[in-house]
Amino acid sequence: MLLDADCETVADALVIAAGGDYCPDVARLCLGETAVIICADGGIVACRALGLRPDYLIGDLDSAPAPLVDWACDAGAEILRYPAAKDQTDLELAMERAVALGARRLAVTGATGGRIDHTLANIDVLMGFAHRLERIVAVENRGELIFLAGADRVATIRGRAGDTVSLIPGCGDARGVTTTGLHYRLLDEDLRYGTARGVSNYMTEPIAYVKMGSGELLVVHMPS
């Protein structure tokens, strides 16, 4: 998987969730030099395994091993502990912290791969934050998920010819969708909510573009 490497799309914050499907190269692929690293509870396990240094550890800490909580503290991370009975998930809390710190381009890893209800809820949460951010991408071990929400949004996909790309409408229709560099082209067309027309396309060029006029669209890129 090859993500954008220019200054406009490199992430200024990384949120590590506890889902399990972590990308081992997430830092090299998409983090800027001054990016803030925020661990959502058990995401601290992946953070340590990835050789990263956390800036924040957030959540009720029910899945964060005590020795790693101590390690994070010793590494200078700010620990923000919340009660187990709360209205937001640990991922939501971590995302809110990133936004509060001024992040506009977010990368997330570990958002999928765990419990199916957590995965679905995480995708919903990330789409919600896509309305508030310039760019948000979930970088997982098996591919990347780019979230488009609002008006006149563009996803740039860097990969290889033959890579699978699926386009899935969010809440409602994705309107005015145009693609470049994909085998099955769309030209200012609508992808209807509740249909699967955009599934299983593939790249014909090393770089593909998906433009959306309005709505919500999940762009899933899976390397071949």
Q: Phi and psi at residue 40, in whole multiples of 5°?
A: -95, 100
Give the domain 1-141 fold.
Answer: Rossmann fold (3.40.50)
Q: Are 41 and 90 in contact (CB under 8 A)?
A: yes
Q: Give the closest residue to 33 by CA, choosing from 57, 58, 7.
A: 7
Class of domain 146-224: mainly beta
Return the SS3 of 222.
strand
Rg of the chain taking only CA atoms, in angstroms = 17
Domain extents in the chain: 1-141, 146-224
Same fold, 1-141 and 146-224: no
Q: How far is CA 219 from CA 23, 68, 138, 148, in A?
A: 17, 34, 10, 8
pLDDT tens sequence across 17-60:
987 778 877 777 677 777 899 999 999 999 999 899 999 999 99
pLDDT tens sequence across 100-121:
999 999 999 999 887 899 899 9
